[in-house]
Each structure stands twice: as C-alpha cells, then as structure tokens.
Amino acid sequence: MRPFDQPIYVTRPLLPPLDALTARLGAVWDSGWLTNAGAQHDQLESRLRAHLDVPHLSLFNNGTMALTMALKALDLTGEVITTPFTFPATPHALLWNALTPVFADIDPVTMNIDPAAIEAAIGSKTSAILAVHVFGTPCDGTAIARIAARHGLRVVYDAAHAFGARMDETPIGTLGDVSMFSFHATKLFHCAEGGALTTGDAALKARFDLLRNFGIEGESTVSAPGLNGKMNEMDAALGLLVLDMVAEEKQQRAAIKAIYSRRFEPIDGITALRDVANFTSSQQYMAIRIDGNRFGVTRDEIYDRLRRHNVIARKYFAPLCSTFPHFENLPSARRENLPVAHRVVDEILCLPLYGALTPDTVERICDIVEGASFSCG
Ligand code: T4K
C-alpha cells in the first residue's frame, strides 16, 4: 500500500473561517484591550459555563497553569494520590506545589485510576486525590467521592480530555472539588492555548480568579502568591468561534469512531476503548490497545508501520510518569506497584481522529493496522 501524500496526524485543530476571526479581532483592536479580563474573555467564560453546565468557571492561559492554581487554591499539603498513566502536566502540577505524588495503579478497562488502589495508597500525609478522566472516559466518581469523604480528602479532576462529557446526565465538570479542562489546539474545543477550572464553590472560584492575576486584590492590595494565568483576548476570540463548531465536529468524530470500531471488533488482540454505559463522550481520542501475543504483532511494530505510511499515531501516555527521573525513586513508582499501568502503556495507541478525516482514509488506516498482522503473523 502506498504511503499517504500528506502526514495524517493524530488530530487537527478546528479552524473557523479566517474572515470570521478577523472580524472578531477587529472588535478587539477597536477596544484597545488585549488581555486582563476583556470582553471576549468574559463572553467566553459565561458561554463555557453554560455549555459545560457548571456553576462556576474560570478561564486560564493553559490547562497546566489552571491545574497548578487549582492545587494551590485548595491549600493542599503532603501527598496526593494520582495516576502514572497521564500527561506529564498532571504530576508536574503537584511538584510545582511542593506536593509529593503517590502513584496508584489503573483499571485495566477504563485506564483510569483504580479506586481500590487509591484506598490502599492512603497514608497519614495524604491530603487529596488527583484523578484523570483518561481519553475522556469518566473516572468512577461515586467510589472516589466515597473514599474522599471517608478519609477527609479533597478531590481534583484532570478533565483535560473530557470537554462536554456527561455521566448519567451529570456534567463531568461538576465532580469533585474542582475540575481542570485543557483548551490546547489538540483538544476538541480549543483556544490555541487555554484552560479552565470549574467548581461548585463560589469562594473557590474567587480564589482561582485571585491566583491567576498575581494575587492582586485591588490596586494597593496583594493578598496571595499568585502567578500570571490569564487568557488573552485573541485566544478567547478564537475560542468563541470554535465553540460554535464543536457540535458538528463531535458528530463527525462519532461516525469515524464507528468505522474504526466496526473494523477492529472482529480482530483478536485489538481492543478499541469503549464508551461506558450512560455516558456522553467528549470524542477526544480514538484509543486502541494491541495485545502483541494475541494479534501477532506488537504495538511498536504497528506504530512504525503506520509511520512508514505517513500516519502519525501517538503512544499516549508513554513513558509512564512514574518512570521519569524526578519520580522513579518514589516508593509508589516501583514497577510492582503499577503492573496494570506498565502493561497498558506498552499496548496503547491513539489513532487519527478529527472531523475532516474521510471514511476512505479511515478504512486505509485500518488496512495498514490489519496488514501488519498479515505480513508478520
Ligand atoms: N492533563 C492531561 C491529561 C493532558 O493530556 C494535558 C495536555 C494536560 C493536562 C495539560 O494541558 P495544557 O497545558 O496542554 O492545556 C499534546 C498537547 O500539547 C497537550 O495539550 C495534550 N495534553 C497532549 C495529550 O497532546 P503533544 O506533545 O502530543 O503535542 P504535539 O505538538 O506533538 O501535537 C500532537 C499532534 O497534533 C501533532 O502531531 C499534529 C497535531 N497538531 C498539533 C498542534 C500543536 C496540529 O495539527 N496543529 C497544532 O497546532 O502534546
């Protein structure tokens, strides 16, 4: 099979018509107001609050800064239980708050942190749980809430992948004390760079807004050690236009995922991540697991073969965070403590998923994946 002429990436950003963006930027130019809670920012904040169906929302300049500020606002101390199977930003936000991550193993199906492993990891210094809705699949929020209540812990969700997801009609951003969303260009909804925190607690929302603006309360009062987490007007203007495109993009992505699922369903050794019951998906990633023993070809071989055909799949989240040099000496980072995560990270592959992919391209990508088995098996 011939390689694709152009690279097929794991995702492509939604791009509104350039003249629509130019018109919005015209309003920004006319106002002479480029950042620090301008009109675009305020409009996006209230539209996202409605879209995500959450009581309070604060915009940030990226998801990592938002998460770092969330942990600061909660005034956490000591140790925080988290997953090793996530993007580096998750445990790094803990380090920037002088908190020690305690890695707990993941569920073999959802790939989210396993509530039983959380419970086993709780110690005298534990102050919170930092869970990630991996690839947009919701964590077991009920079990996590029960554990947190029993041990007096705060709960923070990294919902970077879970924009617009719902569980039994519950908006994902209402779980826990606070949820973080990423609006990076690689996300379904994006502002080029951006992020948000959502919470049900008005006092926490006020704290987020203080911390993202250097801790400045008034012209002559600085009351907290804040940083610069503000979203600028250009990013907010882009976000307002992208938000109008999200519903159609989700439908297109659902159709593409259906093709992948149909093709992989009968194949022994390839498992497509399934949406859990009563769940509205964020349609963020098309993740598959490849069991090299059953399929006859390893994940890495398929990844390389896709690359040779100009398909740039991604091994999110390899390497495991617990293997980074700054974490590997933690007792919780030992391989024996994280057997499921170590297996999953060797099997995972995220395939291209974005609305502009044609069905023909998706079928060809499946052919390449399957062909790897035929040529080597
Ligand atoms: N928590 C979790 C669980 C996360 O996944 C992330 C971010 C965060 C926290 C932190 O949120 P932010 O601070 O980023 O808001 C990308 C993204 O940069 C990152 O936001 C994302 N997760 C992660 C899963 O993916 P890379 O290193 O894979 O990015 P990159 O540049 O290789 O892009 C991936 C592909 O996307 C490219 O091969 C092509 C395509 N692409 C990318 C960009 C930037 C485009 O087509 N256009 C573009 O402008 O991390």
Residue 373: pLDDT band (50, 70, 90) is low
**Average of per-residue pLDDT across 114-141:** 97
Residue 8, strand partner residues:
311
Mean pLDDT estimate for the chain: 96
From CA 118, how far away is CA 234, in angstroms rounded?
41
pTM of the model: 0.97
**Average of per-residue pLDDT across 189-204:** 98
Rounded to the nearest angstrom, the gap between the alpha carbon of residue 134 and the centroid of all alpha carbons in its chain is 6
**Centre of ligand 1 from the C-alpha of residue 303, in Å:** 18
Go through the chain and tell me how many residues it has.
377
Which residue has 């996202």 as its token pair? 48
Contact between residue 199 and residue 176 where contact means Cβ atoms under 8 Å apart: no
**Centre of ligand 1 from the C-alpha of residue 236, in Å:** 18
| Segment 26-79, tens digit of pLDDT | 999 999 999 999 999 999 999 999 999 999 999 999 999 999 999 999 999 999
Contact between residue 165 and residue 141 where contact means Cβ atoms under 8 Å apart: no
Q: Copy the structure tokens of residue 99.
A: 């908190």
Instruction: Report the Cα–Cα distance between both ends of the chain, in Å, rounded.
Output: 18
CA R_g for the chain: 21
**CB contact set of 244 (below 8 Å; sequence gap of 6+):** 16
Q: Which amino acid is at 88?
A: P
Tell me, what's the pLDDT at 279? 87
pLDDT at 112 over 50: yes
Contact between residue 128 and residue 80 where contact means Cβ atoms under 8 Å apart: yes
pLDDT at 195 over 50: yes
| Segment 348-366, tens digit of pLDDT | 999 999 999 999 999 999 9
Q: Is the CB of 174 under 6 A from ligand 1?
A: no
Atom 22 of ligand 1, residue of closest alpha carbon: 87
User: How would DSSP label each residue in 115-152?
Assistant: HHHHHHH--TTEEEEEEE-GGGPPP-HHHHHHHHHHHT
Q: Is the CB of 352 under 6 A from ligand 1?
A: no
- Closest Cα partner for 252 from 361, 363, 355? 355
Q: Is the CB of 64 under 6 A from ligand 1?
A: yes
Residue 375: pLDDT band (50, 70, 90) is very low
Residue 1: pLDDT band (50, 70, 90) is confident
Q: Is the CB of 90 under 6 A from ligand 1?
A: yes
Between CA 131 and CA 114, with CA 164 as vertex, the angle to 5 degrees is 20
